[in-house]
């Protein structure tokens, strides 16, 4: 028996196991692929008889599977010698199953996103009521459930930033950077948090790192300028504001910053 037919035999033999595991799509795909190998390979009489029996058994198993019937109520038909007709039915069935899988995935993603937004709303209310410790405990439980969602840490950090709970915000934002070390957005948010904490040197480094990744972002230069204003380095503040204006001459805040820094420099 050729290698192709051995593959087909193995695929057909595994269909029952896949159905027991409720893996309907892989089971149908296994039959489709095995059938393709059988059609393309010349068969001697004994091999044809064996595979016809195996195909009949596979079709019987699929037709009797309750999970498949929910998705595709039409019964598969197979008559020995009509393998191409069965192949056409399987193609149609696979299309239905794949579409159903896409819809299921979308539904699960939508439900997950709704649960996430509801959790953020509940945590926001705790923060607004000044219950920062319970909010942090609640968010930590959320993070265990959404363990693969790095953006959630950013969302939580920003909620604490809005409440001017800078130490807590910094913890979440820095932790999110461990899995996204080159995120300009995160570097910008962390830099803003560091500035509000009075950590000017660390904030400066953060914005400079962000600018290495996005040198044409006027907001980064403006935020860097705010760091220099806070630490009264008027030369650097004016320079950062000028660079922001070079990129965006209409950025009024940068113009005010440069004028302010230049006035302070003269005094």
Q: Considering only residues 2 and 261, tell me which one the structure prediction assigns the higher pLDDT.
A: 261
Looking at residue 34, its pLDDT comes to 92
DSSP string, 48-101: HHHHHHHHHHHHHHHHT-HHHHHH--SPP---TT-HHHHHHHHHHHHHHHHHHH
Dump pLDDT digits (tens) for 18-58: 999 999 999 999 999 999 999 988 889 999 999 999 999 99
Q: What is the pLDDT of residues 84-93, one digit of tens each?
A: 999 999 999 9
Extents of the domains making up the chain: 3-104
Q: CA torsion angle for 220, 224, 225, 227 (degrees, to 10)? A: 150
**Look-up: residue for tokens 């009949």?**
56
* 63-79 tens-digit pLDDT: 999 989 888 888 999 99
197 pLDDT tier (thresholds 50, 70, 90): confident
Residues in CB range of 168: below 8 A, 6 or more apart: 132, 136, 160
Mean pLDDT within 3-15: 90
């Amino acid at each position: 028996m050729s290698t192709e037919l051995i593959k087909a035999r193995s695929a057909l033999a595994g269909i029952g196991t896949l159905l027991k595991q409720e893996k309907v799509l892989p089971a149908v795909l296994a039959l489709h692929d095995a059938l393709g190998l059988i059609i393309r390979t010349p068969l001697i009489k004994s091999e044809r008889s064996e595979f016809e029996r195996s195909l009949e058994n596979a079709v019987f198993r699929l037709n009797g599977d309750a999970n498949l019937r929910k998705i595709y109520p039409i019964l598969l038909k197979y008559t020995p010698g009509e393998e191409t007709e069965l192949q056409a039915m399987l193609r149609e069935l696979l299309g239905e199953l794949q579409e159903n899988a896409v819809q299921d995935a979308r539904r699960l993603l939508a439900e997950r996103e709704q649960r996430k937004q509801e959790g953020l709303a509940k945590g926001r209310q705790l923060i607004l009521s000044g219950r920062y410790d319970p909010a942090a405990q609640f968010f930590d439980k959320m993070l265990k459930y959404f363990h693969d969602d790095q953006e959630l840490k950013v969302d939580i950090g920003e909620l604490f930033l809005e409440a001017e709970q800078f130490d807590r915000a910094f913890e979440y934002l820095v932790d999110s950077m461990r899995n996204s070390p080159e995120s300009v957005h995160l570097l910008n948010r962390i830099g803003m948090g560091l500035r509000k904490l009075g950590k000017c040197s660390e904030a400066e480094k953060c914005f400079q790192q962000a600018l290495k990744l996005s040198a044409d972002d006027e907001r980064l230069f403006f935020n860097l300028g705010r760091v220099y204003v806070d630490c009264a380095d008027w030369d650097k503040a004016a320079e950062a504001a000028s660079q922001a204006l070079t990129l965006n001459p209409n950025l009024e805040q940068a113009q005010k910053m440069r004028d302010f820094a230049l006035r302070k420099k003269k005094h």
